[in-house]
A and B are shown apart, each in its own frame.
Chain A
């Protein structure tokens, strides 16, 4: 979907375009999902509907997932802090995880890297790592919970995102902070504004008191302890404050978009 988004033409219906594109070049994951989703089989077969018809298991599940986004937003308490742990509880070694292997993880030169801030902000500018390192930082020892089910406790240090949003004059009434990353497929993920403003949501520069290593997203990761791991983007290169839902790498493939913990 990340690739499809780049092909968008103004005035062309995004959904139709996506549908056409997936028809001609079915994405492996999408096919896997449909095949698996329809493997309950009887339900869709009995109704005589093709999975691309108006009623299908996939569309029903997508609607319920959107409903679950709303339920989770309602459950989200902006003042509830994720549990914190003593340093002794930190998981060693902290697991590396991504859709790519560690050898394929982005190798970013911290001197060239810039963090681009776009969208509904007063001060649109690109920040160097040196500038970002000067901002006040706080440390948190929290549990990272992966959508796969495993979890690990880590130590992350960085600038609370809400402080940064205030600094750049972001419109915090906007719906999302949309992050883009520097990996080969252009990982991206939307973060709802209330979660972005949560006191523990952090622009992370250090892991375990050391400069964030490549494995965990050098030079910057967005740590969101109130979200599942895939909503914690690594190798972040830009942030757009926006009212538009722009989708995300995993969100577009079927992971629940809110995915709050």
Chain B
């Protein structure tokens, strides 16, 4: 009888749909680890030759201990970031997920959803559908992710990939582009983590899928 009861119970709750498929969740957390390693080691590398004299990163939030250690971390985590990111882009386009989840984005929609968010009127009932602000931020951060990798490649290989470095206006400008992309990702992370904490079921969906 107990097995029957359990079946009934499951039948009552089973239709809960998967919000985040397994491949998205796995890649999300690999990316989270990779981006944290890249940012913390990147800050240590930045400190060796700061772009802005008044801005240095505290040793307590950097990774690698010194420039050499940080470079080893940065050039190791880059594989994790780029391979995971590349597969994510391919699967995202191939399955149509990007198109169905992130488009369309309209200026009017973004403005009205931003207003709704700040007045606490934004609905989170259906987490499988992103609102306009989410769509903009998620599409935007994917583009920033692509640009930070390309600018990073330009800094790493300004001779072998000089056509790429030239696209950014040369080695020195690519360093600034790389820095501002990092800044955008950090800003995104602050908002992203804050909102995940405010809407805990979205965090749960990214862990167990539903």
Contact = CB atoms under 8 A, between A and B. Distances in A.
B152 interface: no
B49 A150 contact: yes
Interface in A32-56: 32-37, 39-40
A64 B76 contact: yes
Contacts of A64: 72, 75-76, 79
B47 to A, nearest CB: 9
A240 to B, nearest CB: 25
B71 A260 contact: no
Contact of B73 (A32, A34, A61, A80): A61
Nearest to A75: B160
Nearest to B51: A149
A149 B46 CA distance: 8
Contact of A250 (B37, B44, B68, B175): B68
Given A32-B65, A149-B48, A37 B72 contact: yes
A226 B172 contact: no
Contacts of A254: 68-69, 71-72
B20 interface: no
Contacts of B72: 37, 61-62, 64-65, 254, 256
Interface in A11-70: 29, 32-37, 39-40, 60-62, 64-65, 68
Majority-rule SS of B interface residues: helix
B61 to A, nearest CB: 10
Interface residues of A, number: 39
Contacts of A34: 65
Contacts of B159: 80-83, 225-226, 260-261
B171 A32 contact: no
A128 interface: no
A36 B160 contact: no
A260 B157 contact: yes
A33 B65 contact: yes
Interface residues of B, number: 29
B71 A37 contact: no
Interface stretch (A139-147, A159-167, A182-190): A139-147
Contact of A37 (B65, B67, B155): B65
Nearest to A61: B72
B85 interface: no
B63 interface: yes
Interface in A59-115: 60-62, 64-65, 68, 75-77, 80-83
A253 interface: yes
Nearest to B37: A40
A255 interface: yes
A61 B67 contact: no
Contacts of B172: 151
A210 interface: no
Given A37-B73, A148-B49, A260-B157, A80 B162 contact: yes
Contact of A255 (B37, B68, B158, B162): B68
A76 B162 CA distance: 12
Given A65-B72, A147-B71, A255-B71, A261 B160 contact: yes
Contacts of B66: 29, 32-33, 36
7 contacts: A34-B65, A37-B73, A80-B160, A145-B171, A149-B46, A149-B175, A225-B159
